[in-house]
Chains A and B, each alone.
Chain A
Amino acid sequence: MKLSEKEIYQLICSIPDPEIPVITIEELGILREVRLEGTKVIVSITPTYSGCPAMKAIEQEIFSILKEKGITDLEVKTVFSPVWTTDWLTDYAKEKLTAYGIAPPLHSTNDKNVLLNRSIHCPRCGSTNTEMISHFGSTACKALYRCGGCLEVFDYFKCH
Chain B
Amino acid sequence: MSALKNLTAEYALRIGDTSLVLGQRLGEWCGHGPILEEDIALTNISLDLIGQARAFLTYAGELEGRGRTEDDLAFQRDERDFRNNLMVEQPNGDYAHTMLRQFFVSAFHYYFFSELCKSKDTTLAALAEKSLKEVTYHLRHSSEWIIRFGDGTPESNLRMLEAIDTLYRFTGDMFASNDIDNELLKAGIAVDMTVVYANWMKKVESVFAQATLTVPKDCFMITGGIKGIHSEHLGHLLSEMQVLPRSFPGVEW
- For chain B, the bracket of interface size reads 20 to 34
How far, in angstroms, from A136 to B40 measured CA to CA in the complex?
7
A160 interfacial by beta-carbon distance below 8 Å: yes
B141 interfacial by beta-carbon distance below 8 Å: yes
- Known interface pairs A50-B130, A140-B47. Does A134 touch B54 (Cβ–Cβ under 8 Å)? no
B140 interfacial by beta-carbon distance below 8 Å: yes
A49 interfacial by beta-carbon distance below 8 Å: yes
**Chain A contacts for B126, CB-based, 8 A:** 80-83
A21 interfacial by beta-carbon distance below 8 Å: no
Per-residue interface assignment for chain B, residues 128 to 155, with 1 indicating a CB less than 8 Å from any chain A CB and 0 otherwise: 0111111011001100000000000000
Q: Count A-side interface residues using an 8 Å CB cutoff.
A: 25
The answer to whether B49 and A51 have CB atoms under 8 Å apart is yes
Residue in chain B with minimal CB distance to A160: B133
B21 interfacial by beta-carbon distance below 8 Å: no
A52 interfacial by beta-carbon distance below 8 Å: yes
The answer to whether A136 and B44 have CB atoms under 8 Å apart is yes
A–B pairs, 15, beta carbons within 8 Å: A50-B51, A50-B54, A50-B134, A51-B48, A51-B49, A80-B129, A81-B129, A85-B133, A112-B136, A116-B140, A134-B37, A134-B40, A135-B140, A136-B37, A136-B45
**Chain A contacts for B41, CB-based, 8 A:** 134-136
Majority DSSP secondary structure for residues of A touching B: loop
The answer to whether A50 and B55 have CB atoms under 8 Å apart is yes
The smallest C-beta distance from B209 to any residue of chain A, in angstroms, reads: 20
Residue in chain B with minimal CB distance to A79: B126
- Known interface pairs A49-B134, A136-B45. Does A80 touch B52 (Cβ–Cβ under 8 Å)? no
Per-residue interface assignment for chain A, residues 89 to 128, with 1 indicating a CB less than 8 Å from any chain B CB and 0 otherwise: 0000000000000000000000010011000000000000
**Chain A contacts for B185, CB-based, 8 A:** none
How far, in angstroms, from A53 to B130 measured CA to CA in the complex?
16
The answer to whether A80 and B123 have CB atoms under 8 Å apart is yes
The smallest C-beta distance from A86 to any residue of chain B, in angstroms, reads: 10
Interface residues of A in 133-160 (CB under 8 A from B): 133-138, 140, 144, 158, 160
A-B interface, 5 closest residue pairs, ranked by CB to CB distance from nearest:
A51-B51, A50-B51, A81-B126, A51-B47, A136-B44
The answer to whether B47 and A53 have CB atoms under 8 Å apart is yes
**Chain B contacts for A49, CB-based, 8 A:** 47-48, 51, 134
The smallest C-beta distance from B89 to any residue of chain A, in angstroms, reads: 20
B127 interfacial by beta-carbon distance below 8 Å: yes
The smallest C-beta distance from A56 to any residue of chain B, in angstroms, reads: 11
**Chain A contacts for B136, CB-based, 8 A:** 112, 115-116
**Chain B contacts for A137, CB-based, 8 A:** 40, 44
Per-residue interface assignment for chain B, residues 17 to 47, with 1 indicating a CB less than 8 Å from any chain A CB and 0 otherwise: 0000000000000000000010011001101
**Chain A contacts for B37, CB-based, 8 A:** 133-134, 136, 144
Residue in chain B with minimal CB distance to A117: B140
A18 interfacial by beta-carbon distance below 8 Å: no
The answer to whether A83 and B44 have CB atoms under 8 Å apart is no
How far, in angstroms, from A137 to B133 measured CA to CA in the complex?
16
